[in-house]
């Protein structure tokens, strides 16, 4: 049927930061400038101006015009933009627009913890559930998980961590990236005296323990990742198992505690090992102030992992397989370089510095698979380890990438720092937007340039409704927000007794690949930016994932600060 993309005037449905950019996109067949009006909550006109014709937007196929509220800085709620008879969804302009989302985006992680009951006192009755995968029937995992048959002959206690996404697997490469992003969020907050470093900011069991909540949350994943390391005395000791998941994909809906399947440890990979090396090194630096013993343990595991990866530099996780994501990757020079940079940042050792071989590249950005750029983001946190010249070069590199993203964003009808060169959106494209925005924000911090800061903020407009489907991709934030994401417990659309996704959960977003049956049935012929459907079965466009919400958490913390 005909898809409903909502109002023709597309805005950030949550709102705009009073001191930030405020633009909207108008979908129209008109090609001449029109008059726009800004209406307040009482329908009074508070500002007016002219639209700017843009033309056809390549990735959406929409003919659009642009609206810029420019210098309008007054705060308000329930505002709307009007062009002719077209009225936008309501939005706010404020100074604390992102305060709530910032918190919810981080509480996503507690809600997806494995091995601990999710308690009503923190999340409310609807989201409470018993602990998953503690070896209590019908669960078979994760307290003693055997290796996949014929791959090794031991079992490990790999309880805890976060479930990857809508499934019950736990995968090292993207779990480590997600935890890394939370640790980087913490460091960014610490450098800006922002409340992201505070205790009692999240509704989690550790709140009130005197330590930053964001570090408590990241430690839940770190403890799990450390358990995935092959113990001394076993073949491939020091390497890290790539993943642990069910023998076959479980069906939907299914609460974690009700999963009856056998779970297995899948063989170690060089990529997973280097992810632990990188994250463990970052952990050592970040937790040194809060938990010395833990920081020391992190560094030991990281250095052990590094040594093991050097001994086994080409052990690749296979593509395909049953019951879980593959997270396959046969190029690990980037993982080596990222790990080396984090280990150099933590220890200052020249040998690690020499092993850094990659820099940030606009075309790559970063993702669970492409980690080369993270070497530069690691160095950006330890300027004192670099000469003034090297600091300057690093700033130039990151600023150069940011320039590309600003240009990409400005050249599109729906401002987005993610603009794939091949004109195709990938699985998890929204994380491409958020990760590129994080790079913009870091560039803004390093250079003080407003253009980078504005572009980072404007990226959130795309995620929150100023896009080709007129939809906020974040549950509970915006008039039309995604709420049927692919998830085995947040499966309200399949079982009314179950909740919808927790507020602040970001959908993967448009994916040109149409890699699931629901997308294939509904989205044939879609323009890249429209290959999205808010149905629970569309895992390739509408799943949630830890490494996507970590990007949202980083970015909204930045916007809030």
Instruction: State the nearest-atom distance from the C-beta of 343 to ligand 9MR, in Å.
Output: 26
Minimum distance of ligand 9MR from residue 426's CB (angstroms): 7
Q: Which is nearer to ligand 9MR, 167 or 246 (CB)?
A: 167
Query: Judged by CB, which is closer to ligand 9MR: 88, or 112?
Result: 112
Q: In the set 107, 167, 370, 445, which binds ligand 9MR (CB under 6 A)?
A: 167
Interface map 434-473 toward ligand 9MR (x if CB under 6 A)? ----------------------------------------
How far CA 282 is from CA of 286, 335, 344, 347, 449, in Å, comes to 6, 14, 10, 10, 27
Is 192 an active-site residue? no
Alpha carbons 337 and 328: distance in angstroms, whole number: 18
Judge contact between 101 and 556, C-beta under 8 A: yes
Comparison of 326 and 382: residue with beta carbon closer to ligand 9MR: 326
Q: Angle, nearest 10°, between helix axes 546-560 and 429-447?
A: 40
| Shortest spacing between CB 436 and ligand 9MR, in angstroms | 15
According to CB under 6 A, which residues from 480 to 509 bind ligand 9MR? 508
- Counting DSSP H helices and E strands in the chain, the numbers are 15, 15
- In angstroms, give the least distance from the CB of 505 to ligand 9MR: 13
**417 close to 467: Cβ distance less than 8 angstroms:** no
- Please report whether residue 344 would count as binding ligand 9MR according to CB under 6 A: no
**Cβ of 384: how many Cβ atoms within 10 Å?**
6
Q: Give the nearer residue to ligand 9MR in terms of CB position, either 325 or 372.
A: 325
Q: Check binding of 217 to ligand 9MR (CB under 6 A).
A: no
Q: Which of 259, 335, 376, 534 is catalytic?
A: 534
- The answer to whether 428 contacts ligand 9MR (rule: CB under 6 A) is yes
Radius of gyration of the chain (CA): 23
Q: Which of 103, 117, 88, 25 is nearest to 62 (CA)?
A: 25
Alpha helices in 242-311 (DSSP H): 270-287, 292-311
Strand partners, 92: 15
Contact 139, 132 (CB under 8 A): yes
Q: Which is nearer to ligand 9MR, 288 or 326 (CB)?
A: 326
Residue of minimal Cβ distance to ligand 9MR:
325
Q: Is 486 a residue of the active site?
A: yes
Would you call 85 a catalytic residue per the annotation? no
Q: Which of 92, 142, 164, 184 binds ligand 9MR (CB under 6 A)?
A: 164
User: Judging by DSSP bridges, how do beta strands 155-156 and 170-171 pair with one another?
Assistant: unpaired
Token representation of residue 520: 């294939």
Q: Which of 486, 487, 516, 560 is catalytic?
A: 486
Question: Smallest distance from the beta carbon of 442 to ligand 9MR, in angstroms?
Answer: 22
Q: Are 244 and 228 in contact (CB under 8 A)?
A: yes
**Residue 539 sits in the site that holds ligand 9MR (CB under 6 A):** yes
Question: Nearer Cβ to ligand 9MR, position 13 or 111?
Answer: 111
326 binds ligand 9MR (CB under 6 A): yes
> Which residues 6+ apart lie within 8 Å of 463 measured at CB?
430, 433, 434, 472, 473, 474, 506, 552
Contacts (CB under 6 A) with ligand 9MR, residues 351-410: none
DSSP strand pairing (91-94 vs 145-146): unpaired
Contacting range for ligand 9MR; rule: CB under 6 A; set: 104-112, 160-168, 196-204, 358-366: 160-168
Q: What φ, ψ does residue 107 adopt, rounded to 5°?
A: -70, -15
- Report residue 397 as tokens: 């590199």
CA separation for the pair 214, 316 (Å, rounded): 32
- Cα dihedral 541→545→551→556 (10° resolution): 90
Question: Which of 14, 83, 165, 218 is the binder for ligand 9MR (CB under 6 A)?
Answer: 165
Which of 543, 553, 554, 555 is close enough to bind ligand 9MR by CB under 6 A? 543
Residue tagged active-site, from 206, 408, 445, 543: 543
> Rule CB under 6 A: is residue 325 a binding residue for ligand 9MR?
yes
Q: At what angle do helices 270-287 and 333-347 cross, to 10 degrees?
A: 20
Closer residue to ligand 9MR (CB): 110 or 427: 427
Positions marked active-site:
486, 534, 543
Residues near ligand 9MR (CB under 6 A) are 164-165, 167, 169, 325-326, 427-428, 508, 539, 543, 545
């Amino acid at each position: 049927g005909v898809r409903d993309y909502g109002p023709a005037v597309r805005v950030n449905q949550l709102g705009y930061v009073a001191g930030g950019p405020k633009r909207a996109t108008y979908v129209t067949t008109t090609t001449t400038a029109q008059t726009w009006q800004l209406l307040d909550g009482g329908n009074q006109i508070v500002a007016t101006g002219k639209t700017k014709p843009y033309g056809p937007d390549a990735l959406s196929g929409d003919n659009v015009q642009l609206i810029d509220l420019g210098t309008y800085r007054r705060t308000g709620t329930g505002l709307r933009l009007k062009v002719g008879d077209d009225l936008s969804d309501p939005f706010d302009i404020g100074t604390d627009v992102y305060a709530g989302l910032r918190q919810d985006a981080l509480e996503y992680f507690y809600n997806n913890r494995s091995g601990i009951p999710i308690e009503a006192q923190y999340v409310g009755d609807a989201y409470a559930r018993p602990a998953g995968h503690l070896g209590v029937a019908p669960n078979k995992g994760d307290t003693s998980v055997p290796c996949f048959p014929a791959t090794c002959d031991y079992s490990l206690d790999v309880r805890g961590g976060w479930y990857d996404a809508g499934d019950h697997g736990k995968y090292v490469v993207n779990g480590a990236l997600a935890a890394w992003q939370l640790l980087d969020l913490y460091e960014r907050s610490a450098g800006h005296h922002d409340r992201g470093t505070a205790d009692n900011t999240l509704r989690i069991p550790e709140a009130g323990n005197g330590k930053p909540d964001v570090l408590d949350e990241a430690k839940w994943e770190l403890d799990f990742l450390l358990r995935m390391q092959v113990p001394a005395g076993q073949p491939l000791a020091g390497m890290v198992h790539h993943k642990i998941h069910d023998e076959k994909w479980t069906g939907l809906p299914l609460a974690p505690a009700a999963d009856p399947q056998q779970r297995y440890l899948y063989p170690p990979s060089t990529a997973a090992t280097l992810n632990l090396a990188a994250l463990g090194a970052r952990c050592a630096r970040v937790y040194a102030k809060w938990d010395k013993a833990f920081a020391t343990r992190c560094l030991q595991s990281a250095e052990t992992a590094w040594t093991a990866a050097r001994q086994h530099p080409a052990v690749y996780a296979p593509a395909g397989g049953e019951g879980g994501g593959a997270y396959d990757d046969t190029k690990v020079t980037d993982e080596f370089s990222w790990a080396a940079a984090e280990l150099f940042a933590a220890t200052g050792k020249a040998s690690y510095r020499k092993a850094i071989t990659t820099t940030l590249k606009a075309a790559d950005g970063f993702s669970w698979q492409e980690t080369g750029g993270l070497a530069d983001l690691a160095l950006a946190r330890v300027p004192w380890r670099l000469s003034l010249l090297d600091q300057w070069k690093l700033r130039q590199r990151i600023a150069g990438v940011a320039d590309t993203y600003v240009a990409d964003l400005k050249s599109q009808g729906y401002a987005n720092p993610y603009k794939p060169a091949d004109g195709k959106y990938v699985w998890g494209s929204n994380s491409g937007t958020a990760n590129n925005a994080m790079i913009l924000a870091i560039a803004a911090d390093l250079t003080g340039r407003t253009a980078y800061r504005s572009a980072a903020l404007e990226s959130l407009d795309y995620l929150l409704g100023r896009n080709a489907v007129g939809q906020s991709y974040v549950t509970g934030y915006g008039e039309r927000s995604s709420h049927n994401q692919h998830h085995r417990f947040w499966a309200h659309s399949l079982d009314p007794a179950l909740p919808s996704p927790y507020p602040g959960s970001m959908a993967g977003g448009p994916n040109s690949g149409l890699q699931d049956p629901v997308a294939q049935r509904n989205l044939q012929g879609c323009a890249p930016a429209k290959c999205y459907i808010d149905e629970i079965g569309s895992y390739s466009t509408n799943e949630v994932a830890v490494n996507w919400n970590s990007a949202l958490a980083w970015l909204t913390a930045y916007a809030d600060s």
